[in-house]
């Protein structure tokens, strides 16, 4: 189970809303341009969630290519499989329950994608090294993650905001991993690294709460019990005054295997 959400269906709802957000769409489009996935290639979606990118890769590699989508949570691979619609113009996607830190495939991949997973893993270097190991020579990797240490919420009481955000970050194994992705790819022996970011600034609480759990009253356990009511009330009051703002950098790091 996730560190923040209490149910698999809550995770799935969150993933679906994040995937539809324009900033994530922009970052994915920019990554796909760098990856330039070609027909016949083999792709791995590591930590696939609902498998959005696995399905994108299936269309790009076509019927002569192949896609494997893995997630450590069986509820995610099951949900991804349910959404999947077989397309004769696309590769078959094989969904598997695996841990990206230890999974081993005998075949090499041309493309490895790993989005917003590193914040959840205990040892991001070994996860990145494992993914780099599974790339074929010339293969490309793209890792995307958030920098929760640079997450800003404004308009609310500063002391309470600091307390609530610290408690939220403390739930995640790697809250600041976004800013470290480039060096982890380099450390894993990959070359020609490129880093791109999006930095969404949202001023509507409804829009922000749909994609950020700590701003969503329905995800109650993401906030310490003692602050819960005051926190969500103060967010709503700031929103009503037109003062609410949040900002969050999201990093994408690309590199290739020599
Ligand atoms: C925030 S979601 C992102 C899902 C998907 N990559 C996307 O961008 O929509 C993080 C996913 O990583 C999975 N995950 C976390 N740790 C993992 C691990 N060690 N191995 C494989 N999957 C993992 C979770 O189960 C979850 O589905």
Render pLDDT for 154-205 as a digit per residue (tens, 0 to 9): 999 999 999 999 999 999 999 999 999 999 999 999 999 999 999 999 999 9
1, pLDDT greater than 70: no
Render pLDDT for 192-247 as a digit per residue (tens, 0 to 9): 999 999 999 999 999 999 999 999 998 878 899 999 999 999 999 999 999 999 99
Please give the share of the chain, as a percent, with pLDDT higher than 70: 100
Token pair of 200 as six digits: 């969404």
Please state, in angstroms and rounded to a whole number, the distance separating the CA atoms of residues 129 and 124.
Answer: 8
Please state, in angstroms and rounded to a whole number, the distance separating the CA atoms of residues 2 and 13.
Answer: 13
Q: 239 CA distance to ligand 1 centroid (A)?
A: 31
What CATH superfamily is the domain 8-147+173-198+250-256? Vaccinia Virus protein VP39 (3.40.50.150)
Render pLDDT for 37-64 as a digit per residue (tens, 0 to 9): 999 999 999 999 999 999 999 999 999 9
Indicate if ligand 1 lies below 6 Å from the C-beta of 49.
Answer: yes
Please state, in angstroms and rounded to a whole number, the distance separating the CA atoms of residues 250 and 145.
Answer: 6
Indicate if ligand 1 lies below 6 Å from the C-beta of 115.
Answer: yes
Q: Count other Cβ atoms within 10 Å, centred on residue 20.
A: 12
Pick from 101, 120, 105: which is nearest to 15 by CA?
120
Pick from 31, 119, 109: which is nearest to 70 by CA?
109
Indicate if ligand 1 lies below 6 Å from the C-beta of 81.
Answer: no
User: How is the chain split into domains, by residue range?
Assistant: 8-147+173-198+250-256
Render pLDDT for 120-138 as a digit per residue (tens, 0 to 9): 999 999 999 999 999 999 9
108, pLDDT greater than 70: yes
């Amino acid at each position: 189970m996730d560190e923040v959400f209490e149910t698999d269906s809550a995770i799935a709802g969150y993933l679906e809303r994040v995937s539809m957000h324009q900033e994530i769409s922009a970052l994915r489009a920019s990554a796909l341009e760098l990856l330039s996935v070609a027909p016949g290639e083999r792709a791995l979606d590591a930590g696939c969630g609902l498998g959005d990118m696995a399905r994108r890769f299936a269309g790009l590699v076509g019927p002569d290519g192949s896609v494997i989508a893995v997630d450590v949570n069986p509820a995610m691979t099951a949900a991804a499989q349910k959404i999947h619609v077989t397309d004769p113009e696309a590769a078959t996607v094989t969904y598997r329950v695996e841990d990206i830190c230890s999974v081993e495939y005998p075949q090499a991949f041309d493309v490895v994608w790993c989005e917003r997973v590193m914040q959840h893993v205990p040892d991001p270097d070994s996860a990145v090294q494992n993914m780099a190991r599974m790339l074929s020579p010339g293969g490309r990797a793209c890792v995307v993650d958030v920098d929760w240490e640079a997450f800003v919420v404004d308009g609310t009481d500063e002391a309470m905001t600091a307390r609530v955000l610290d408690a939220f970050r403390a739930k995640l194994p790697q809250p600041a991993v976004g800013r470290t992705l480039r060096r982890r790819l380099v450390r894993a022996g990959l070359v020609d690294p490129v880093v791109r970011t999006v930095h969404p600034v949202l001023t509507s609480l409804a829009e922000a709460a749909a994609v950020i759990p700590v701003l969503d009253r329905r995800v109650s356990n993401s906030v310490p019990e003692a602050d819960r009511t005051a926190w969500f009330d103060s967010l709503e009051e700031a929103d009503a005054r037109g003062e609410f703002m949040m900002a969050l950098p999201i990093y994408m790091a690309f590199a290739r295997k020599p």
